[in-house]
Amino acid sequence: MEEKKMERKTVKAFSSTASGEAQAVAMEGTRSSVAEPQPERPMFPVKLMEEVVRAENVKQALRRVESNDGSPGVDGMKAERLREYLKQNWLEIRRTLLNGEYKPKPVRKVSIPKPGGGTRDLGIPTVLDRFIQQALLQVLQPEWDKTFSENSYGFRPGRSAHQAVSKAQEYLFEGYSFVVDIDLEKFFDRVNHDMLMGRLAKRIEDKRILKLIRAYLNAGVLAEGLVKTRDEGTPQGGPLSPWLSNVVLDDLDRELEKRGHRFVRYADDCNIYVRSERAGERVMASIAEFIKRKLKLKVNGSKSAVARPAKRKFLGFSFTVFTNKRRISAQALEKFKLRVRVITNRNRGRSIEQVIEDLACYLNGWLGYFGYCQTPSVLKNLDSWISRRLRCLVWSQWKLCRPRVRELVKRGVKLNEAWDVAASGKGPWRMSHTSALQLALPDKYFARLGLPRLAAGNI
């Protein structure tokens, strides 16, 4: 009787109107409010799966998946259809989960470009599997997170990349002026399943949970019409993968803490701070050996290095020489300019209003992250560069000599000067820097159209 009541309550949960739940905003402070790590201990010794399928937990998971949306998996189902699907099928899905019989579908392989070149493979689970993974994560993460290292910042509630960068900056101010920058070679593709499952089994006694996680790890990958089996790796793209990466690399954190190192880790980006280059070389060699022997992973020698922090990047940031201020890395700046060039391309046949609308969307998101830099002069230079790009665009859209003269005069340029400028054979980039175009198309003009100023929003 109690079981039937629970089922009716759960089905009712999926009949309510969808109310999207935005992702939690990452803290931007320099110190985390997360408590000190607690000793590792078993959690939920029995009936953990019952917690996963509990009505309130699955309602929360559904809202999160709906708000995140995302691409469909191999079955083509979109997030907007999930609620209706669950209304009709949840009782059977719940039964298979409780009986340890649920079988995940293969993930859909998607390749995306990496900032530094090349591509990264993502494995996109079906929307149903994302929902079940999210429900699992909501039960497992809160207890497990309490025992993770204070120096781990990636994919954890209440923690952010900004906090990780700030912690690295603290070490620099303390005199640890060399960084051991460790890059793990194809980390998400090479996680050892047996090692990971052994780590989980130390704290999870519900065999159904372990069986389900193993099934997700072993789910095939659909690529070019064929499903390929997988015996290692945790493909990026599902809610569980980031948490599983922290479970694997927690052993690395514990080893670094045991050795007394100053370090910061964000997912598979790990920086260790030392006082000298010689010390850094020793640390690099010994930690690379530990990673190979204990974690069954490999350090990418071509992307790892011991160097001054000013010569390396960490989460899109670098640091100035001597003053150790946060600055935007050269790679991040180049990626930014590449994107702005695409949006402001003069051959796309779009009005200046449409261009600025797209540009504002990108700039606001970019500034929300990189506005954390401490070099406002860089942002001012980017503002000037963007204005020149937009002047080039408008100048090209005016096209002919007479329309250019008419537009310049209308915007306050003297007639003689307008004719001189309009008759010039110089290209748009050189013309954008003339006093006539700066008068006709000042920064205030673009601001009225909705263009945000990067320097004005600097933290």
pLDDT tens digits along 95-142: 999 999 999 998 887 777 766 666 677 788 999 999 999 999 999 999
Residue type, 404: R
Supply φ then ψ for residue 198, to 5 degrees: -65, -40
Say which residues have a Cβ less than 8 Å from residue 369's Cβ, sequence separation at least 6.
161, 162, 316
CB count within 10 Å of CB 349 equals: 8
Q: How confident is the model at residue 11 (pLDDT cuts 50, 70, 90)?
A: very low
Q: Number of C-alpha atoms within 13 angstroms, CB side, residue 110?
A: 15
The larger pLDDT score, comparing residue 222 to residue 293, is at 293
Question: Which 3 state secondary structure label does DSSP give 217?
Answer: helix
C-alpha–C-alpha distance, residues 146 and 61, integer Å: 21
| Stretch (H or E) spanning 205 | none
Hey, what are 108's tokens?
A: 């859909």
Say which residues have a Cβ less than 8 Å from residue 403's Cβ, sequence separation at least 6.
none
Q: How confident is the model at residue 210 (pLDDT cuts 50, 70, 90)?
A: very high
Hey, what are 106's tokens?
A: 């293969």
Question: Which 3 state secondary structure label does DSSP give 402?
Answer: helix
Supply φ then ψ for residue 223, to 5 degrees: -140, 130
Place of tokens 């994302």: 130
Question: Which 3 state secondary structure label does DSSP give 454?
Answer: coil
Calculate the average pLDDT of the chain. 87
